[in-house]
Every structure is written in C-alpha cells, then in structure tokens.
Structure 1
Amino acid sequence: MPSPHPWPRKHCSNEYHLYTLAHPTTIANRQTKQVSLLNASKVPVTKELVFRGQDYYYRSAFTSLGESLKAAVYILFQNKEDSGMGMPLPKGIVRVYKRDSKGNAQFVGEDRIGHTPRNEQIRLKLGEAFDVTATKKQINYKKVNYGHPYNYAAESTYRIKLKNAKDQPTTVKVQEPIPGDWEMIRESFPHTKIASGLAEWEMKIPADG
C-alpha cells in the first residue's frame, strides 16, 4: 500500500566517456590481455628542471637542507590536435620514449595522470636529472618580536648553489613555498611571486658551471 508520506527521490546521472578500440581484438577463455588504446608520436614538448623546497624550512632553524639535491625533470605538452593529440585520455600511466642517435626508441620515464579531456595541458614527472644538482643551506635564522609574546616574525637567510655538469647551458626553476605573509628582504637574483605562497627563480646555468 503506498505510503502517505513517500520519501523524496532524486534522479542521478553520471558523466562518463566511452573509449573505443581502433581495431577489433579477441580474448581467449581465462586470458588476460593488454591492448593498446591510443598512441602518439612526435608530440612537441617543453622540458622543465625544477628544484622545489618545503614550507617548513621557514618555521625553524636547520643546519643543512640538502647536499647534492637533484633537479626533478618534467615535460609539458598540450592535448591538442595540432600537437598530434587532441583526444580524451583515460586515467592511467603514460610512458615516454625518446629516439637515440641510431633511431631506436629508449624509455625515459613514466608518470600517472587522471582522466584528461581534450585541449588540456599535461605535465609529467619523468624522474630526476643526473647532472644538474644543488646544495642548500640555511645561513641565518632569527625571530623578530613585535612587543607581544605571541606576535613575532621569522627572518631567515638561505644559500642555494646550483651546478650544471652538462657540456651545454641549462635553465632550471627554483621554487620555494613560503608560508604566511612574507616579504623578500634581499636576494642575489630577482624572484617571481607566481602564487600567494610560492616564489620562483628561473636560473640559467652555464655549461660545467
């Protein structure tokens, strides 16, 4: 018998995307099979070498923040038709290959992406650079009190030494997440405030320099 006070009902629909294989495939009984869904070659990419710090560096005193730090290697590309892509990409692992001097494809790294629609930028972390390193040290740290026991600011000084062992110049990005309301008092090279809590330096390092 119908209830005199039925529960409210809502119709729910889920967004989805259907991926279709380019060619038919067969699967035998109890067989596990890997099938290539899509492939792209000669995709124009931009490479980035990035040293990224931690925000807790600015909350206390440290003797050393790292010897022989290695730059993280990223590549960026656009998921557009004029870049050889322009297709919805499923969530999963993207593997990147580069041809060597003999024309053979060599595996250079992989990263995981989420479901990515067309015309979006994709950024993959492929690992760490072998011959671009850095050392980082905190030179000074002090708290500056404003007359109240719980109202203070911290001033800290850091030295970052970048080294390029390549036989050609390279460009790296040094990114520092800085918490709170901050101000750069002095610096050897000008920074860019790319977000409220992130300062970035783009540095060109000479060959073997």
Structure 2
Amino acid sequence: MKHSNHWLKALAVLPASLVPLAVFAATPADQSRVDAMALYNRGAAVVQTTRDIPLKSGAQTIGWPISGRLRADTLWLEGEGVRLTGLSTNMPDDSGQGLLAARIGQPVTLLPANDEGDASAREATLVAANGDTLLVRVDDHIERLGPNSPWRITWPAGDDSAAGLSLDIDADKAGKQALTATYQIDGPSWQASYTGRFDAQAGQLELASMAVIDNSAGARLAADKAWLVAGDVARSTGNAPAPMMMARAEAKVSDAGAPQASGDTYRYALDNGIEVAAGGIRAVSIMAPKTFEATRSYRFENSFYSISRDSQRSHAQIRLAFDNNADVPLPAGVVRVYDSSGAANLMGEDRIGDTPKQAPVTLTLGTAFDLTSERRLVEDRKTGENARRRTIEITLHNASADSASVEVIEHLPEGARIESAQPTVADDAPANTAQWQVDVPANGEQTVRYTVSWEN
C-alpha cells in the first residue's frame, strides 16, 4: 500500500501522556474535591469528606465517589444511626496501558502534538496497543503509530473510567443524612526542601524551607482544608512516587506559623486547602527564613583495615554543623547550601532526617579541593600467636592561602590499644576510634603518626 508523505511521518503517542487527560477529565471537579486531606511525608494521604445523602430505612446500597488510588480496607464511615455492612469498589487501571487496553476497538482522534503540525485532526479506530506502538484504522487502512511522530491520540473521558465505592449500609430511619467517610489513598507524598546561604565570616547559616508535594496518585488532589504531616507513621504497604512535572508555588503554610504537635507527629496547615493536578508537583513554603550559628569544618575519616604501603591520597570532607534552635522541628528533606563568599557558589547538598527542636544537625557538603591527605602503612608485623602491631602515617596537605583546622578519625579494631601517637589522641574519642584535631598552615602540611596493637 502506498502512503502519502503526510502519513509516512510516524504517528506516535507515549501512553503515559494519556493519563492526565483521560483520568482527570473523568472526575468532575465537584466529585473529586473533598473537605479535608492530610498528606504524610512517607507516601500516603488521609481523606475525609461529608455528603448529605437521601436514605431509606433499612438495608441499602449507596454510591460514594473517590479520587485517587483508594485503599478500600482503610475506610471508616460515620453517620447517626447508620452502619456500614459491606462495600465494593470500582477502581480503574489509571496507567497508560490500562486506559489504552480499555479503548481498543473504539473511536479515537489523532491530533498534531503542537501548533506547527501540518495536518488537521483525523478520526480513527484504535486496533491494538503494544508498549509505545499503537495500530489505528484510518479510513480503509491500518497505520502504525511509533515513538517519533508529532502526533498524539485522544478520546473523551467517560463515566466508565470514574473511580468510586458502593457502600452497603443499614439505616435506622429514612431521610437525608450527613455521612462522613475517612479513608486512605496511595501515591501522594511530600518532603521538605531547604535552601541556605552560609556566611563563613559571620559563622551564620540562613535557611529557608519549602514543602514539595508530589502527586503520583493518578487523580487531582483537591481539598478545602489540608495539612502536611511530618513523622514516621507505620503502614502495612507503601511506595516511593517519582516527580513528573513542576507547578507554580502559590500556596503557603498557614500564617499561624509553627506546626502543631499531633500525637507523635507534627501537622502543617495549608492556607486555602490544596490543589495539585494529577501527576503534578507543587512547592509550598513551610517556614520563614531562619538564621543559625553554624561552623564549617574539614574531616578525614578512614577504616583501619583500608590501608597499603603505597600512599593513598584523598580529599577532606566539608562539613557544616549547627543546632536547630529555631523552636520548630525540621522535617526530613534535602538541604542545599550556597556560599556567600562568591557569586553563584554552591557549597553542596545533603539530606537530613526528621530533626526535633534543639537537636544538632551536621551536613556533609562535598570535598575540599585544596585539603588532601596521603595515608600509608609504615609497619605491619605479628607480635604473638594472635597479636599484631601496625604503624600508620597520615600527611595532611593544605594548598590554600588560609590555614585550616582538620579533624582526623581512624576506626580501629575492637579492643585495639594505641601504643604511641603524634600528635596526642583526643581523650574523648569514641570507643575503637582514634581522633585528632590538627591545624594545617596555609600552603603547608602536618603529619599524624600512630602505632596500634591488637589481638586477632
């Protein structure tokens, strides 16, 4: 069959791109919006909404719309004189492949992927779907849609793709009744994201924080009231959602300021509720910038067993330490620190766990270019049937124009005894550890040498 040049351009669509269009359109705004929602930073959301439902007396079945991937066994229904006796779910496959499979044999529309397309919309029938390849019937012939075409495929979203519940209930009396449903959906999560600026001269770190809400639930998140919950709440299952797109950061945490303690977690209230598109990411401010007294330090940390007679060169870790004296907890997240000593100067990034008020924080932000060490094995010999002695030498080099104070840590065998050390080992070093604080002059060097004996 001879095709025109127009159709020789492969018609293509990535199935994942269909999900927001098909699923989002299938859920009317008034159905998907709920009264209240709490998002947990471990990957879950608790939803609560109240609906006025006309009931008859006795046993009956009612419908309840759901937006998102429901965990049906988490539902709690509350109403005066109403008891939940059973339920069934209509939860569609909201993946691209599931939607395509359900559409095989039905009409679809082929649209140019952008305004520069050289063809108008074409009507077709979806014949088959296999990964990124689709077969469609156009007029009297079959066309193959591959991954390099400027085309996309679309169709109207219908009620058959809407998610919902059928609730079996028993009501004491007839009449309109306010029923409240509380349940969990999988997919959405959030984490804190911190951005800081370190002033070495003042010894201060200014830190601002945002909450990044990741909606991988397959449906929009929409609630009149919303909270972000920080803390580790055990769940029987969980997942790790992946970012897909970035939306504008318009919302913010309530002006009430500090998060509210709730049991063993903290809750951050969001002004004006929450609104995040299906598959979207949204950032909201959760803390005004805070200034901390901070100290930059350098560290070499080695295992006693990782050594050879040949010199091993390494660069010092850059560490930034401060105490969380902001009178608010710091939820888990990534911290990015810029150095005020130069324009567009990133010191590095690190991740912190959930950090209570007044707790210490130490960030490892990378390695120092000019601070290096050469570590070598000087002596290693057997001193008894099960005893050995080893001498190690570490030469610290500072190629910068400023002196530096460097921490050296050596992890030793259990029960090891330091026979000699120069400089002297710190008295408060942890067990099975040798530790030194060494001042290395500008454009100079210092040497650490120690001998250890232990039994195998």
For 2:286 and 2:305, the matched residues in 1 are separated by: 43
CA gap 1:140/1:205 in 2 versus in 1, 3 angstroms? same
More moved, 70-79 vs 183-192: 183-192
SS in 1 for 2:383: strand
Letter aligned with residue 400 of structure 2? K
TM-score w.r.t. length of structure 2: 0.37
CA gap 1:46/1:28 in 2 versus in 1, 3 angstroms? closer
Q: 1:37 aligns with which of 286, 305, 315?
A: 286
For 2:331 and 2:430, the matched residues in 1 are separated by: 29
- For residue 394 of structure 2, what is the aligned residue in structure 1? 160
SS in 2 for 1:38: strand
Q: How much has 1:144 moved relative to structure 2?
A: 1.4
Q: Is the 8 A contact 2:315 2:373 kept in 1?
A: yes
Question: How many aligned positions are there?
Answer: 182
Q: 2:328 aligns with which of 78, 81, 87?
A: 87
For 2:298 and 2:435, the matched residues in 1 are separated by: 12
Aligned: 1:126 with 2:365: yes
For 1:106 and 1:24, the matched residues in 2 are separated by: 36
For 2:287 and 2:310, the matched residues in 1 are separated by: 46
Q: Is the 8 A contact 2:379 2:391 kept in 1?
A: yes
For 1:143 and 1:117, the matched residues in 2 are separated by: 48
For 1:170 and 1:63, the matched residues in 2 are separated by: 27
Q: 1:97 aligns with which of 338, 344, 359?
A: 338
Q: How much has 1:189 moved relative to structure 2?
A: 0.8
Q: 1:199 aligns with which of 405, 415, 434?
A: 434
Q: How much has 1:62 moved relative to structure 2?
A: 2.6
For 1:26 and 1:105, the matched residues in 2 are separated by: 33
Structure 2 counterparts to residues 11-30 of structure 1, below 5 A: 15-21=264-270, 24=272, 27=275, 29-30=277-278
- For residue 77 of structure 1, what is the aligned residue in structure 2? 322
> Larger relative CO (CA 8 A, sep 6+): 1 or 2?
1
- For residue 8 of structure 1, what is the aligned residue in structure 2? none
More moved, 105-114 vs 190-199: 105-114
- Describe the superposition over 1:28-53 as per-residue Cα deviations: whole angstroms up to 9, x where unpaired: 53342122322435422011100001
- Describe the superposition over 1:83-112 as per-residue Cα deviations: whole angstroms up to 9, x where unpaired: xx22111111111122245xx563321111
For 1:26 and 1:106, the matched residues in 2 are separated by: 34
- Describe the superposition over 1:4-62 as per-residue Cα deviations: whole angstroms up to 9, x where unpaired: xxxxxxxx9x72221235x55763533421223224354220111000011324xxx73
For 1:177 and 1:39, the matched residues in 2 are separated by: 40
- For residue 175 of structure 1, what is the aligned residue in structure 2? 409
Structure 2 counterparts to residues 58-73 of structure 1, below 5 A: 62-64=308-310, 66-67=312-313, 69-73=314-318
TM-score w.r.t. length of structure 1: 0.78
Pairwise CA RMSD of aligned residues? 2.4
Flag structure 1 segments of 5+ consecutive residues without an equivalent: 1-11
Q: Which has the larger radius of gyration?
A: 2
- For residue 6 of structure 1, what is the aligned residue in structure 2? none
For 1:208 and 1:71, the matched residues in 2 are separated by: 15
Question: Taking every aligned residue pair, what percent have the same amino acid on both sides?
Answer: 28
Structure 2 counterparts to residues 100-119 of structure 1, below 5 A: 100=341, 106-119=345-358
SS in 2 for 1:179: coil
- Describe the superposition over 1:122-151 as per-residue Cα deviations: whole angstroms up to 9, x where unpaired: 001001011100100001101111xxx5xx
More moved, 193-202 vs 41-50: 41-50
SS in 2 for 1:184: strand
For 1:29 and 1:53, the matched residues in 2 are separated by: 48
For 1:144 and 1:25, the matched residues in 2 are separated by: 71
Q: Is the 8 A contact 2:405 2:437 kept in 1?
A: yes
For 2:380 and 2:439, the matched residues in 1 are separated by: 28
- For residue 47 of structure 1, what is the aligned residue in structure 2? 296
Q: 2:383 aligns with which of 144, 158, 173?
A: 144
CA gap 1:53/1:65 in 2 versus in 1, 3 angstroms? farther
SS in 2 for 1:56: coil
For 2:422 and 2:291, the matched residues in 1 are separated by: 39
Flag structure 2 segments of 5+ consecutive residues without an equivalent: 1-233, 235-262, 445-456
SS in 1 for 2:305: helix
